[in-house]
Structure 1
Amino acid sequence: MPRLVSPLKISSLTLALVWAPLVLAQEVAVPTPRAASSAPSLDVEVPDVALVDQTGREVKLWTDLVRGHTVAINFIFTRCKTICSPMTATVARVQKELGPRSNVRFISITLDVANDTPERMARFAEPFKPGPGWSFLTGEPAKVKEALVALGGYVPDKEAHRPTVLVGNAVSNTWTRVDGLGSPSAILSAIREVQAASAGPTELGPQARDAAAQDAAAAKYFTNTELVDQHGKTHRFYEDLVRGRKVLINFAFTACKGACSPITKHLTQVQEKLGGRVGKDITMITLSVDPANDTPKSLGTFTKKLGVQPGWYFLTGARENITLVLKKLGGYVDDPDAHNTTLLIGDSATGMWVKSPAMARVENIVYAVEHLNDPR
């Protein structure tokens, strides 16, 4: 595939774009976490093995699911007649209690890879109504075993497994185990303690230190400025839309008589090709360059007309808020008609960003997203 641009690997998240250089501080104060108080912190190294979720999509355990998030991980198998269903029901109550804006990822890994296909995992999960951000994982036996061993879930006899939920945060390197058959409040408490630990002092391992530095730099740069989407929902820009995901970002306005509608229609094909990943580990963002006129209602009409699907956020808001974000990304213009038509593709966790013409071939854009962090 012809490269869209020479990729830019950024140290401490320096985002350098030819039309508007954007530089982040390369030295950041790394938040040093303390262990959760309910139990001693565990030493966990999450392998970046490729597994398969309940939709049949391949995901990497560290890169796609754990990095940048607090996670709750348990171990189940679909033919289990004892603890697996009640434990999953408890975890489902925890996810519901945290609500849809939670940044917590839930992961259930099979102990019976010989029988648990993605389809069976999906059927097992269905009665519990898991929300977005909950992955039921299977895959190649060796890779599943590697994950189970690393996370402390492996047992030679699956029937003898314990109802354990591993709660942790890889940024702070804080991990603890909770009884999955206890009350949901115990798991919620562990999650909140692990989240709080990311703000306290302790020693980080090299992997966690790098991730913490990258996250701190990204949060400082992108900011948690509040913007409003086409449905009227308010989002914190970094934490809700950028952190822990690959992102595609472009600029448009609803009264545009030129490129905006064709570009949006073109990018709906990109969204279709990326499939169910959009809204999970990939976010699509269009920032209005005309916040004085682009209301959530007008953005909603615009997106409905052009076939935009969930997982793609068209953002407006107070002029000072959206101007701040536009300037950070090199998208601010005094005259909306003069806005640029570049597509930014990036991963704040790795600091890798590339730019592409928004009307580049769909296959090229999709390839750039899927292979963004490949070694060059």
Structure 2
Amino acid sequence: MLPRLRCLAVLLALSTAAAASAQDTVRVPAPPPAESLQVQVPDVSLVDQHGRTVRLWSDLVRGQVVAINFVFTRCKTICAPMTATLARVRKELGPNAPVRFISITLDVAHDTPGKLARFAEPFSPGPRWSFLTGEPEQVKQALVALGGYTPDKEAHRPLVLVGNATAGRWLRVDGLGSASSILDALREVRAASAPPPELEDATAARDASAARYFTNTELIDQHGKPHRFYEDLIRGRKVLINFAFTSCKGVCSPMTKHLAEVQRKLGARVGQDITMITLSVDPANDTPESLARFARKFSTGPGWYFLTGARENVALVLKKLGGYTEDPAAHSSVLLIGDAATGTWVKAPAMSAADNLVYAVEHLDDPR
């Protein structure tokens, strides 16, 4: 008798469901809304899938709209589907979209750059998608700061962190939801830094004028990495620029030591919204390697770029900045302090009291 009752119950349930479906539209629950949060991205040194060392904040996130997820190559559950969703987002945006994608491993002990490259290959990541590993403590610091850390990688949540590092707008999205939900979050954070309509034309005009003046001439830093002078190093930041050369027997070493004290006083802002630049006046002899040795003598930190390059490139930029000289020993010891966002620039002796230089940077845009 009991089996018959069970069959009857099942039939009644099915007939009830069928009746309901005939009368009502089935409603699929909406995905959870994007969660807004505060994020402080650390400038840790990591390694991408090509074996290149990159700094998380200054090389990948600063000034960018980003989508970040957390994966590992031996994952048998959510990692591949979540990464495939991000790949659909990237395809939908198009190859030239101003969005950077970042995937950080949860399995540092196993995930080498080569393994991350093989994991990434089926998703056709392109040049604006970095798969990152590195030293365990550096990776953990990044994961903790971004909300991706878990002691058990097998239990990690399918989160995508979407952010606008310029506006400080961050959202956390379900990485197993639809690509459209991630696209909506990207549009929302991008809109956070859009200027009011009445300022948009003026802002664009000022930026275009600054780009023409400073130029995007390619220079090379002390790590051998090329940079476009305006777009990569100046745009949207406060900047300190001085002139030196590594074989200098005069002011260069004392000046660099003094500016290292300024960097320490400015703290973590250098490498975030403040950039320091030392431009060689002797590019014929100053190689990236010699500049790196020079910088190490003074314990300079991230966010300070010692630049050289092709003679004609360096000469062009030096002339724009008023630092060009035929005789390196006769170079200027002036420090240029500017805010590229507002177009405010001042000069100061580079050996001015460190506290005075810090004050000048921090109060550059104060009303006069």
* Equivalent in the alignment of 1:205: 197
Deviation at 1:98, TM superposition (A): 8.0
- Opposite residue 101 of structure 2, the aligned amino acid is V
Partner in structure 1 of residue 319 of structure 2: 327
> Structure 1 residues 375, 186: closer, same or farther in 2, change over 3 A?
same
1:25-64 deviation digits (Å, cap 9, x = unpaired): xxxxxxxxxxxxxxxxxxxxxxxxxx986389xxxxxxxx
1:243 is matched with which residue? 235
Please identify the structure whose Cα radius of gyration is greater: 2
Deviations 1:283-325 (A, max 9, x none): 0000000000000011011111111111100000000000000
Q: Pick from 229, 249, 254: which aligns with 1:257?
A: 249
Cα distance in 1, alignment partners of residues 360 and 311 from structure 2: 32
Report the CA distance between 1:130 and its aligned residue.
8.6
Match of 2:136 in 1: none
CA distance 1:186–1:367, change in 2 (3 Å)? same
Q: Distance in 2 between matches of 1:263 and 1:131?
A: 41
Per the alignment, residue 63 of structure 1 pairs with none
SS for the counterpart of 2:101 is helix
Query: Partner residue of 1:54?
Result: 40
**Higher helix residue share:** 2
1:59-104 CA-partner distances (Å, limit 9, x unpaired): xxxxxxxxx9554699xxxxxxxxxxx99x96998235687899xx
Distance 1:125 1:69, change over 3 A: same
Asked if residue 359 in structure 1 is aligned to residue 351 in structure 2, the reply is yes
TM-score with structure 1 setting the length = 0.54
Match in the other structure for 1:182? 178
Q: What amino acid does structure 2 have at the position aligned with 1:54?
A: Q
- The share of aligned pairs that are identical, in percent, is 56
Q: Unpaired segments of 5 or more residues in structure 1? A: 1-50, 57-67, 75-85, 103-120, 138-146, 154-161, 165-178, 199-203
The equivalent of 1:223 in structure 2 is 215
Picking from 95, 100, 114, the partner of 2:102 is 95
Q: 2:134: which partner in 1?
A: none
2:289 is aligned with 1:293: no
Check 1:100–1:329 CA distance in 2 against 1; reply closer, same or farther (3 A cut): farther
2:66–2:101 Cα contact (<8 Å) kept? no
Letter paired with 2:178: G
The partner residue of 1:316 within 308, 322, 334 is: 308
User: Which of 322, 328, 332 is residue 336 of structure 1 equivalent to?
Assistant: 328
Q: Distance in 2 between matches of 1:351 and 1:301?
A: 33
Alignment partner, residue 82 of structure 1? none
Deviation at 1:267, TM superposition (A): 0.5
Residues 130, 274 of structure 1: alpha-carbon distance in 2 compared, 3 angstrom cutoff: farther
Aligned residue pairs: how many?
Answer: 242
TM-score, normalised on structure 2? 0.55
- The alpha-carbon distance between structure 1 residues 370 and 131, as it changes in their structure 2 partners (threshold 3 A), is farther
Structure 1 segment 1-376 matched on structure 2, within 5 A:
54=40, 71=65, 94-96=101-103, 122=145, 124=147, 134=165, 163=173, 181-183=177-179, 187=183, 205-376=197-368
Specify every segment of 5 or more residues in structure 2 that has no aligned partner in the other structure, as ranges: 1-36, 43-61, 69-81, 90-98, 104-124, 131-143, 151-158
Structure 1 counterpart SS, 2:102: helix
Answer whether contact 2:100 2:128 (CA < 8 A) is retained: no
**1:120-171 Cα distance to aligned partner (Å, 9 max, x none):** x94736568999985896xxxxxxxxx89xxxx9xxxxxxxx959xxxxxxx
Distance 2:310 2:225 in 1: 14
Deviates most, 182-191 or 301-310: 182-191
Partner of 1:140: none
The 3 A distance-change label for structure 1 pair 188 and 52 is: closer
Shift in alpha-carbon separation, 1:294–1:190, aligned structure 2, 3 A: same
